[in-house]
Structure 1
Amino acid sequence: MPNFLIQATYTSEGTKGLLKEGASGRRAAIDQVVTALGGTVESVYFAFGEHDVVLIIDLPDPVSMAAISLTVKASGALHTRATPLLTVEEIDEATRRQVPFRAPSA
């Protein structure tokens, strides 16, 4: 199952919701969204700085990630960035694949 790193920043409206519900309420909402699409939540961390919350989630496919991303962004409560995460084994497999590439200057 593909893994994703999610970095999110609350808008002012999203922050008001966090203050009202608390972190455990938002964690429950995250779990509900991810499990509804057949995924699992590996970890959730709240932070301060550029990002307010950082997640690692597993989903059945990239389309599920796109569906979550579109829905969450449409709410206007969060700005998010999803980064696909690859295992060591997946990178090893990638290094064995032949790619017919020629550099522009070659």
Structure 2
Amino acid sequence: MTKYLFEANYVGDGIKGLMREGGTKRREALVEALNSVGGTLESFYYAFGDTDVLGVFEIPDQSDAAALSLMINSTGSVNVHLKPLMTPEDLDKAARKTLSYRAPGQ
């Protein structure tokens, strides 16, 4: 399973819905959506400033993560951004790979 950092902002009716339903109901809605793709919620926090809500979840398949992002963003009530997370061991594995690349102009 891949872990994802999510950052989201409520917009328009999403803000009204958040105020009406409260934060725990929105967290429950995310857990339900994650369950539908075999995912789990690790952390969920509200903030203020550039980001309204952020946290970490796990989803077994990259296409399921994309589907979840598309579904949430298509509502027009929330703008969500996902960032796949890597462990230090994942980075070690990537650093050991031999690749071929030519920089521009070289």
- TM-score over 0.5 for the pair: yes
Alignment of 1:53-64 (within 5 A): 53-64=53-64
Q: Distance in 1 between matches of 2:7 and 2:77?
A: 13
Q: What is the aligned partner in structure 2 of residue 5 from structure 1?
A: 5
Q: For residue 21 of structure 1, what is the amino acid of its counterpart?
A: E
**Is 1:38 matched with 2:33?**
no
3-state SS in 2 of match to 1:89:
helix
Q: TM-score, normalization: structure 2?
A: 0.96
Q: Measure how far apart 1:59 and its partner are.
A: 0.3
> Where does the alignment leave 5 or more consecutive residues of structure 1 unmatched?
none
Q: TM-score, normalization: structure 1?
A: 0.96
Give me the CA root mean square deviation.
0.8
Q: Measure how far apart 1:38 and its partner are.
A: 0.5
**Is 1:77 matched with 2:63?**
no
Structure 1 ranges of 4+ moved more than 3 A: none
Per-residue CA distance 1:20-58 (angstroms, 9 max, x = gap): 111110010010001110111000000111110002010
Aligned length: 106
> Where does the alignment leave 5 or more consecutive residues of structure 2 unmatched?
none
